[in-house]
């Protein structure tokens, strides 16, 4: 029963860690998505305010002069370089209001200026006109709107009258331009700024109408405007802009995804409203799967695989300890000597137990802690230096709400009033559905903070996390190796010792992988040459064989493999070289001076098709012909076959002169 618990708990913790790692990835993606939304809203607001300033400059020009000629207006607009500095604007115009009685006069004046085909359109008798008179640049597109009565169309008229009566900048709803060309048709809108007689002010709408002269205005093409405003800010995020608060297809003014359909859905969806000069735009943001993929890392997979492996090995070690009273005692000593501080409190915050590490870190004796209110003499301090109050102290929050609580850094006060940083977890003790106490575990992270401070700025957060994972996995594997070594000291059975020694070598092989990854700047791959050289050295030391007794010939290309393939390859080398050291030279008479020299060859080479070959050979007695190496009871060879399968590789045996195994596999 205990063995099953020893397996289930680490697997459960591994699952929690894997789930949290995945949740962190999605949380990072969502925070970035939300930041992009807020940044986009602000960018659009800033750009529209900048365009308003351009039109206000036109107001200033008319305010400074009694009359502004068409030539002066053209020079003013040309100097703005709107095509370069203000993309999305079709032009900047000035239009004044005149009654029907002046319409014929206006037409004659325009024709006398050389515009013989000028007319006010659409035709019809109306009380008031506001035709397009001054519009620059006066290109083919803008000439199509020449003479058009802006008050004729209801959307334009509504915005214009509101601007006139309120004396404020106003924009229209979604419109289709009368001057839009046949190709690249886009939705758009217009901005109107009212212009009144000089030096006159009117507090009411009726008074403003009396002194009203006309409008400075600009038409905008929505797609051109948004592409120039946003650029590449919304990579892998689709943006739709609607006129008003209803996100109906008829209200769509802009979509960054030209192939977007109403049935297409993204992983994240965000909607914001933007109030601009009397109109409301609804901005709809849709994040794509590619957006989330950009935040993914190998951390959850590495954590899951490492956790499963550690859980299985820990379960096997626990079974061995259960079978021996002395081993159980040693296990208890190991747990007591852990560097992690552990203590528990009841619902009145009184200490019920505390381990040696916690006592040493806090500076109190056991008697000073047991039965005492921990909050009265062990104060929790926030990172900013403020003392936590009783209701907010993170170490006792679990007592209040009965939920697990974790934190990456707070300060604890020692007996001598000095502080030290910790990371901790607190878990409720629940009996019959009621919280009866809390268990707190914490680590002194002073040294870790010093290390993090030294490398901050040179490593990204992901690299720090991966380094910590490899470090912990390496340490845990080394603990397991030590426990196996400890177990071997309590048995005199040669066969059992051999099994434990082989298991220890396998664990060391995996630990060496994580040690190299921990020391490396690149966590995605491992230098195979350096790894195998150290692995062979460890094997010789493990079997007590001097390097002069057996020559090793290493022929290893400059190869880097990912962590998974490196683990499989290391275990294969461990098994096959161990077989050579144990069995190859037992029945061979070798003369160190005049005879054949004992030799083991390890070669790892890469071909032109991104394939790899591993060759392990010796000049010993050879592999027994009576044994099918692919179907044998040997645990080592069974493990080799399983690992080759994991690599999607092939294995062959040449038994002509000594023993030679050749394994071929491809790069993942």
Percent of the chain with pLDDT over 90: 25
Angle between helices 222-230 and 2-63 (to 10 degrees): 120
**Would you give the DSSP letter of residue 389?**
-
Beta bridge partners of 428: 438
Beta bridge partners of 214: 96, 195
Q: What is the pLDDT of residue 442?
A: 85
**E strand or H helix at 239, and its extent?**
strand 237-243
Q: What is the pLDDT of residue 584?
A: 82
> Is the pLDDT score of 470 beyond 70?
no
Query: 58-117: per-residue pLDDT in tens?
Result: 888 888 887 888 888 999 999 999 888 888 888 999 998 899 999 999 999 999 988 999
Return mean pLDDT, the chain.
80
Q: Where are the domains of the chain?
A: 25-44+229-293, 46-222, 299-332+461-519, 338-456, 525-666
Q: What is the pLDDT of residue 96?
A: 85
Sign of CA dihedral 64, 68, 71, 73: positive
Spatial CA neighbour of 600 closest among 552, 662, 658, 556 = 552
CA-to-CA distance for 518 and 560, rounded, in angstroms?
Answer: 15
Q: What is the pLDDT of residue 636?
A: 80
Out of 21-30, 108-117, 239-248, 574-583, which region has the weakest mean confidence (pLDDT)? 21-30
Q: Collapse the DSSP code of 420 into the 3-class scheme (helix H, G, I; strand E, B; otherwise coil) and give the result.
A: strand
Which residue in this structure is represented by tokens 């030679």? 660
**Would you give the DSSP letter of residue 388?**
P
CATH of domain 525-666: 3.30.565.10
Class of domain 338-456: alpha beta
CA-to-CA distance for 225 and 212, rounded, in angstroms?
Answer: 30
Q: What is the pLDDT of residue 504?
A: 65
Spatial CA neighbour of 500 closest among 511, 508, 488 = 488
Contacts of 504 (CB under 8 A, 6+ apart): 481, 484, 485, 488, 542
Q: What is the pLDDT of residue 48?
A: 93
Half-sphere exposure of 396 (CA within 13 A, CB side): 22
CA-to-CA distance for 540 and 537, rounded, in angstroms?
Answer: 5
Residue 633's CB: how many other CB atoms inside 10 A?
A: 7
Sheet holding 405-413, edge to edge: 351-354, 341-346, 434-444, 419-431, 405-413, 380-381
| Top-confidence residue, 509 or 83 | 83
Out of 60-74, 310-324, 550-564, which region has the weakest mean confidence (pLDDT)? 310-324
Task: Name the pairing type of β-strands 551-556 and 599-606.
Answer: parallel
Confidence of residue 582 (pLDDT cuts 50, 70, 90): confident
Ramachandran bin of 178, using left for φ above 0, alpha for ψ from -120 to 50, beta for the remaining angles:
alpha
Contact by Cβ (8 Å): 371, 349 = no
Q: How far is CA 403 from CA 86, 393, 431, 436, in A?
A: 56, 14, 14, 12
Percent of the chain with pLDDT over 70: 78
Q: What is the pLDDT of residue 493?
A: 76
* Residues 119-124, mean pLDDT to the nearest whole number: 91
Spatial CA neighbour of 578 closest among 645, 636, 654, 510 = 636
Contact by Cβ (8 Å): 524, 298 = yes
Helix, strand, coil proportions of the chain in percent (round to 5)?
45, 25, 30
Token pair recorded at residue 538: 């460890």
Name the pTM for this structure. 0.45
Q: Collapse the DSSP code of 6 into the 3-class scheme (helix H, G, I; strand E, B; otherwise coil) and give the result.
A: helix
Confidence of residue 379 (pLDDT cuts 50, 70, 90): confident
CATH of domain 25-44+229-293: 3.10.50
Q: What is the pLDDT of residue 458?
A: 52
Half-sphere exposure of 121 (CA within 13 A, CB side): 10
Confidence of residue 489 (pLDDT cuts 50, 70, 90): low
> Ranked by mean pLDDT, which of 18-27, 413-422, 455-464 comes out on top?
413-422
Residue-wise DSSP of 69-128: -HHHHHHHHHHHTHHHHSTTB--EEEEE-EEGGGHHHHHHHHHHTT-TT---BS-S--SE
Rounded CA Rg of the chain: 39
Q: What is the pLDDT of residue 39?
A: 93
> Is the pLDDT score of 281 beyond 90?
yes
CA-to-CA distance for 451 and 421, rounded, in angstroms?
Answer: 14
Out of 293-297, 373-377, 554-558, which region has the weakest mean confidence (pLDDT)? 293-297
CA-to-CA distance for 219 and 591, rounded, in angstroms?
Answer: 97
Q: What is the pLDDT of residue 331?
A: 44
Q: What is the pLDDT of residue 142?
A: 86
**Would you give the DSSP letter of residue 150?**
G
Q: What is the pLDDT of residue 163?
A: 94
CA-to-CA distance for 356 and 366, rounded, in angstroms?
Answer: 8
Q: What is the pLDDT of residue 464?
A: 54
End-to-end CA, the chain: 40
| Top-confidence residue, 282 or 315 | 282
Token pair recorded at residue 80: 């703005």
Token pair recorded at residue 630: 């692919």
CA-to-CA distance for 374 and 350, rounded, in angstroms?
Answer: 6
> Is the pLDDT score of 259 beyond 50?
no
> Ranked by mean pLDDT, which of 131-135, 524-528, 636-640 comes out on top?
131-135
> Is the pLDDT score of 173 beyond 90?
yes
Phi–psi pair at 37, nearest 5 degrees: -65, -50
Beta bridge partners of 192: 170, 217
Sign of CA dihedral 627, 632, 633, 639: positive
> Is the pLDDT score of 497 beyond 80?
no
* Residues 553-561, mean pLDDT to the nearest whole number: 88
Out of 206-215, 462-471, 514-523, which region has the weakest mean confidence (pLDDT)? 462-471
- In this structure, the chain runs to a length of 668
Spatial CA neighbour of 651 closest among 597, 595, 605, 613 = 613
Half-sphere exposure of 341 (CA within 13 A, CB side): 19
Phi–psi pair at 620, nearest 5 degrees: -85, -150
Q: Collapse the DSSP code of 133 into the 3-class scheme (helix H, G, I; strand E, B; otherwise coil) and give the result.
A: coil
CA-to-CA distance for 562 and 523, rounded, in angstroms?
Answer: 8
Contact by Cβ (8 Å): 43, 233 = yes
307-310's contacts with Cβ under 8 Å and 24+ in sequence apart are 307/10, 307/11, 307/13, 307/14, 307/15, 307/17, 307/18, 308/11, 308/14, 309/510, 310/10, 310/14, 310/473, 310/476, 310/477, 310/480
Q: What is the pLDDT of residue 542?
A: 76
Span 46-222 CATH architecture: 2-Layer Sandwich (3.30)
**Intrachain domains 338-456 and 525-666 with the same fold:** no
Q: What is the pLDDT of residue 574?
A: 85
| Top-confidence residue, 177 or 342 | 342
Beta bridge partners of 12: none
Contact by Cβ (8 Å): 151, 87 = no
* Residues 314-335, mean pLDDT to the nearest whole number: 61
Give 517: exposed, middle or buried? Use CB within 10 Å, 0-12, 13-18, 19+.
buried
Confidence of residue 189 (pLDDT cuts 50, 70, 90): very high
Q: What is the pLDDT of residue 573?
A: 87
Contact by Cβ (8 Å): 99, 122 = no
Contact by Cβ (8 Å): 584, 657 = no
Q: What is the pLDDT of residue 373?
A: 85
């Amino acid at each position: 029963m205990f063995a099953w618990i020893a397996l289930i708990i680490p697997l459960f913790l591994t699952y929690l860690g894997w789930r949290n790692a995945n949740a962190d990835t999605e949380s990072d993606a969502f925070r970035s998505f939300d930041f992009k939304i807020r940044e986009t809203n602000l960018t659009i607001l800033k750009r529209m305010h900048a365009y308003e300033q351009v039109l206000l400059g036109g107001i200033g020009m008319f305010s400074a002069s009694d009359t502004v000629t068409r030539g002066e207006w053209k020079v003013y607009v040309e100097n703005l370089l709107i095509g370069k500095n203000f993309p999305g604007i079709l032009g900047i115009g000035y239009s004044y209001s005149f009654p029907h009685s002046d319409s014929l006069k206006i037409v004659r004046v325009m024709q006398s200026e050389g515009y013989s085909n000028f007319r006010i359109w659409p035709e019809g008798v109306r009380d008031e006109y506001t035709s397009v008179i001054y519009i620059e640049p006066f290109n083919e597109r803008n000439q199509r709107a020449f003479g058009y009565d802006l008050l004729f169309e209801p959307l334009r008229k509504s915005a214009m009258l509101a601007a006139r009566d309120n004396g404020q900048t106003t924009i229209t709803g979604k419109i289709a331009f009368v001057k839009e060309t046949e190709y690249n048709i886009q939705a758009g809108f217009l901005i109107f700024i009212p212009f009144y007689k000089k030096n006159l002010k009117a507090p009411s709408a009726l008074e403003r109408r009396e002194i009203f002269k006309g409008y400075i205005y600009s038409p905008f093409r929505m797609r051109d405007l948004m592409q120039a405003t946003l650029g590449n800010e919304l990579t892998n995020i689709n943006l739709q802009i609607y006129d008003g608060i209803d996100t109906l297809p008829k209200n769509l003014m802009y979509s960054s995804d030209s192939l977007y359909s109403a049935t297409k859905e993204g992983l994240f969806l965000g909607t914001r409203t933007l109030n601009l000069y009397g109109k409301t735009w609804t901005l709809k943001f849709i994040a794509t799967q590619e957006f989330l993929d950009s935040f993914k890392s190998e951390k959850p997979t590495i954590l899951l695989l490492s956790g499963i492996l550690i859980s299985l090995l820990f379960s096997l070690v626990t079974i061995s300890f259960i079978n021996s009273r002395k081993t159980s005692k040693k296990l208890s000593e190991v747990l007591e000597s852990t560097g992690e501080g552990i203590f528990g409190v009841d619902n009145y915050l009184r200490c019920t137990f505390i381990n040696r590490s916690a006592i040493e870190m806090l500076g109190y004796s056991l008697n000073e802690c047991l039965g005492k209110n921990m909050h009265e003499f062990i104060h929790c301090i926030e990172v900013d230096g403020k003392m936590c109050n009783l209701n907010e102290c993170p170490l006792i929050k679990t007592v209040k709400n009965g939920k697990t609580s974790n934190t990456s850094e707070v300060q604890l006060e020692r007996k001598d009033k000095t502080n030290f940083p910790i990371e901790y977890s607190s878990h409720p003790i629940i009996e019959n559905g009621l919280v009866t106490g809390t268990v707190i575990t914490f680590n002194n992270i002073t040294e870790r903070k010093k290390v993090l401070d030294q490398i901050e700025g040179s490593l990204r957060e992901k690299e720090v996390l991966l380094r910590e994972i490899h470090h912990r996995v390496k340490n845990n594997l080394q603990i397991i190796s030590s426990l196996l070594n400890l177990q071997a000291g309590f048995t005199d059975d040669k066969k059992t010792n051999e099994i434990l020694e082989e298991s220890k070598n396998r664990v060391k092989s995996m630990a060496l992988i994580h040690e190299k990854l921990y020391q490396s700047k690149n966590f995605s791959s491992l230098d195979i040459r350096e790894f195998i050289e150290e692995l062979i050295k460890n094997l010789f030391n493990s079997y007590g064989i001097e390097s002069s007794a057996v020559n090793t010939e290493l022929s290893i290309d400059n190869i880097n493999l990912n962590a998974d393939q490196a683990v499989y390859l290391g275990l294969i080398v461990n098994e096959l070289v161990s077989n050579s050291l144990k069995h190859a030279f037992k029945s061979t008479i070798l003369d160190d001076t005049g005879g054949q020299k004992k030799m083991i060859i390890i070669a790892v080479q890469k071909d032109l098709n991104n394939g790899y070959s591993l060759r392990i050979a010796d000049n010993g007695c050879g592999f027994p012909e009576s044994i099918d190496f692919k179907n044998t009871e040997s645990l080592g060879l069974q493990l080799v076959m399983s690992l080759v399968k994991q690599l999607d590789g092939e294995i062959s045996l040449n038994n002509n002169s000594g023993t030679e195994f050749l394994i071929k596999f491809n790069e993942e």
